[in-house]
A and B are shown apart, each in its own frame.
Chain A
Amino acid sequence: MSANSWTISAARDALRKGEISAVDLTMSCLTAIDAGDALNAFVHKTPEIALEQARAADARLASGEAPAMCGIPLGIKDLFCTKGVPSQAASNILKGFKPEYESTVTSKLFEAGAVMLGKLNMDEFAMGSSNETACYGNAVSPWRRKGSDVALTPGGSSGGSAAAVAADLCLAATGTDTGGSIRQPAAFTGIVGIKPTYGRVSRWGVVAFASSLDQAGPMTKSVRDAAIMLQAMAGHDPKDSTSADLPVPDFEAALTGDIRGKVIGIPKEYRMDGMPEEIEALWQRGIEMLKDAGAVVRDISLPHTQYALPAYYVIAPAEASSNLARYDGVRYGHRAKLSHGDGVTEMYEKTRAEGFGPEVQRRIMVGTYVLSAGFYDAYYNRARKVRALIKRDFDTVFAEGVDAILTPATPSAAFGLGEMADVDPVKMYLNDVFTVTVNLAGLPGISVPVGLDHQGLPLGLQLIGRPWEEAPLLNYAHVLESRAGFVAKAEKWW
């Protein structure tokens, strides 16, 4: 098995024992990346930075003082600002933008010795569920349906991250999740993705989409890797006023495999009309696995679930319309060529029409509308009240003793690129039906690969935890992962 296909934990152990150098490990990823251009996952490659960081990691490893992430080669979602390296949120409006600063998350990863291989494809401004809104073109899943060569979506918005990890172009990647953008692509590609509790990971230096929903998290090949990488990403940051000043527990130490007596809630509202039989069966299997491990499974109700999606598609665009107002052609990125006599208003309007893609434009306009005079109460304030009710649903079941909640991660397996092109935008939004509730309530959620569908495509289950309880959540996920024994890999065609 070549080193690029290793997990973080295997690589950490091998690096510490001196069985491989960080430079060799990095080289094996760089080789895989160059051979993986058909996946369009890496959109800005940074081999010089990677090798320099790998050499530094080797020196640190030699001194015997190396943290767990030291020498681990990662892909970084294009949403993270990385100093001197293009960071354009997959948007033409940020073309040419090279930040003069480093995001807190990448700073922390680099301080821990991690190696950056390059920047990863994504939906423009993280708005999408299929990675089809990127200015770089689609990221392509390494997975294909049995006997078919139809190109499938790796999911979105962290589609490049999912494709890169699933195809072993890197050991792990950063993702961000506003409505499911870590968990849905992880489920589509058979990897693990965790969205931490809102405030666990600093948002500083991450291009903002919807500030009350955005959280960064790791996308990895195993639950253990998610624990190790989250450890390095999490923690209080004075530069993000919403980051929580709470101690970060030892996540890997929490993976005891003992979940006896823990109460796992099964929400009846997540049984959707028209949900494929296979998803239902997978969910049942997950329930059996947790029961078998000694958990107590309890039917619960989260009565406002069906209103989560419409509430999300008011709140997220509202926040986006405000956050994206900064792209005006003045301080960074693209500015439209102006005609004689054009003033500053024409500059804004032309720049934003040229720089933003159709989905981003649509969401900005929806957000503008729901925040406009006369509609603010009817849409925005009502959605925020519904959000409070959705959070209350979770608070209630947790207060009644539920430790975590098990649901499907997605309503289907990955679909073909282009298959959703002509449908109503609302149809695409339905991808997030099982994941948005978690963002609205600010909870931690993790997607774990559990099985394959009849076409040979990965399917995942989602576990939702109590606020700040990522450590026990990772342990439940670890149990699910061990019992499911998911080892399938995409057959290499690229």
Chain B
Amino acid sequence: MAIDIDTARKVAKLARIRVEEADLPKLAGQLSGILGFMEQLNEVDVSGVEPMTSVTPMRLKRRADEVTDGNMQAQVLKNAPDAREGFFAVPKVVE
């Protein structure tokens, strides 16, 4: 399936990656090539096959619902590009 420029623009938007208008045709071409490669999967008879959801058959472990660590505000914020007064800071979200 060929990806047109509008679809490429939409995918970039969904992925939250800015792509300049001038770069959209190249991106659309590359995405079309990759998705074309995937079309081969349509040759496979998958009727009655369940999608694989876990790699090795095992039950996830459970544990008591208790706090196991915490009180690490300084470490949590240490790598933030902008942290103020104990919070992550971002541009204004609500007018």
Contacts and interface: CB of A to CB of B under 8 A. Distances in A.
B is a partner of A: yes
Interface of A: 96-100, 197-199, 212, 238, 241-242, 244-245, 304, 306-307, 309-311, 313-314, 321, 325, 328-335, 338, 342-350, 352-353, 356, 361-362, 364-366, 368-370, 372, 379, 381-389, 391, 424-426, 429, 442, 467
A323 B81 CA distance: 20
Contacts of B55: 198-199, 212, 242, 442
A384 B16 CA distance: 26
Interface in B16-60: 16-19, 27, 30-31, 33-35, 37-44, 46, 49-56, 58, 60
Contacts of A333: 79, 81
A362 B23 CA distance: 12
Contact of A347 (B42, B58, B91): B91
B81 A241 contact: no
Minimum-distance CB pairs A-B, first 6:
A384-B51, A442-B55, A335-B81, A332-B79, A385-B46, A349-B18
Given A331-B80, A366-B35, A245 B51 contact: no
Contacts of B90: 330, 344, 347
B75 interface: yes
A382 B46 contact: yes
B2 interface: no
Contacts of B16: 325, 328, 345, 348-349, 352
B12 interface: yes
A388 B91 contact: no
Given A365-B12, A426-B37, 11 more contacts: A197-B56, A212-B55, A310-B38, A333-B81, A344-B91, A344-B93, A349-B18, A385-B44, A385-B49, A389-B44, A424-B30
A372 B92 CA distance: 28
Query: What range describes how many residues of B lie at the interface?
Result: 35 or more
Contact of B35 (A343, A345, A369): A369
B10 to A, nearest CB: 8
B46 A389 contact: yes
10 contacts: A212-B54, A238-B63, A241-B60, A242-B56, A310-B37, A330-B80, A343-B93, A365-B11, A426-B33, A426-B34
A425 B18 contact: no
